[in-house]
Amino acid sequence: MPTIFLVDDHEIARAGTKALLEGFDVIGEASNSHDGANGILAAKPDIALIDVHMERRRAGARVVRSVKAKDPSIICIALSVSQSQRDVATLFAAGVDGYLTKQASQSELAAAIQEALDGGNPVSPDVAQFMLELDDELAKIEGLQRLTERERQVVDVIAKGYTYRQAASKLGMKVKTLETHMTHIFQKLGVATRSELSFLWDDTDLEDELFFDELPAYNENHPDDSTNMDDPGK
């Protein structure tokens, strides 16, 4: 009998999903991303059904990345109310094997699990209709994931609205060095302005992986603190 591990922050949702899983052995469950990733890796189920949004936005992507990094053989399927293209793209970029909406019936859920066990990538019909439109979203998210650690640090600071001078000071580098990083970052992500970069970064979950100390508040009256978000200069 195939084994299943459930990760969802709503107890009633976990109970409802378990009730639909006749013919499967639910061997564990968790209510947050940390316990979910650790529980899945410890239990080693055939399938992990993972909610997308839990204690933080797209926490499910963090679970998938953690699991796949250590045991790629575990099949991870997102199970969510969300049909957002950015959510779907983020989960597939993280390595998820399938994406189902919680509107799935018992028979649809069972069929999707079997499809995944057979090596397929099950996707709910509502999601499948725009899968071909995800190329740009996936390219940008995968681009973020390919950034070096230092480049991610640069993006994280710049996305908070700091000037190049402030960001360079915070990161302990010269302004010219930061400008070089930004040129490479723009090229990797296919964006042209700091506004685009900030929107992309803020709308992913990757920034949560950088545990910076809180940056000091801006001094809006300081002559060096003026910021034009579309100007990659000062």
How does pLDDT run across 74-127, given as a tens digit for each residue?
A: 999 999 998 888 888 888 888 999 999 999 999 999 999 999 999 999 998 888
Please report which helix (H) or strand (E) contains residue 36, including its range.
Answer: helix 33-43
Collapsed DSSP state (helix, strand, coil) of residue 68: helix
At CA 85, angle to CA 91 and CA 198, rounded to 5? 85
The pLDDT value given to residue 89? 83
Q: Which two tokens stand for residue 25?
A: 């052995």
Classify burial at 29, counting beta carbons within 10 Å of its beta carbon; exposed 0-12, middle 13-18, buried 19 or more. Answer: buried
The pLDDT value given to residue 217? 34
Cα–Cα distance, 93 to 181 (Å, whole number): 23
Cα–Cα distance, 74 to 68 (Å, whole number): 7
Q: Are 167 and 154 in contact (CB under 8 A)?
A: yes
The pLDDT value given to residue 129? 72
Q: Which domains does the chain have, with CATH numbers?
A: 3-134 (3.40.50.2300), 147-209 (1.10.10.10)
pLDDT of 136 over the 50 cut: yes
The pLDDT value given to residue 234? 40
The pLDDT value given to residue 218? 28
How far are the Cα atoms of 24, 58, 121, 188 from residue 207, in angstroms, in the given order?
Answer: 36, 12, 28, 17
The pLDDT value given to residue 29? 96
Residue of higher predicted confidence among 35 and 130: 35
Structure confidence at residue 128 as a pLDDT band (50, 70, 90): confident
Phi-psi region of 110 (alpha: psi -120 to 50; beta: other; left: phi over 0): alpha
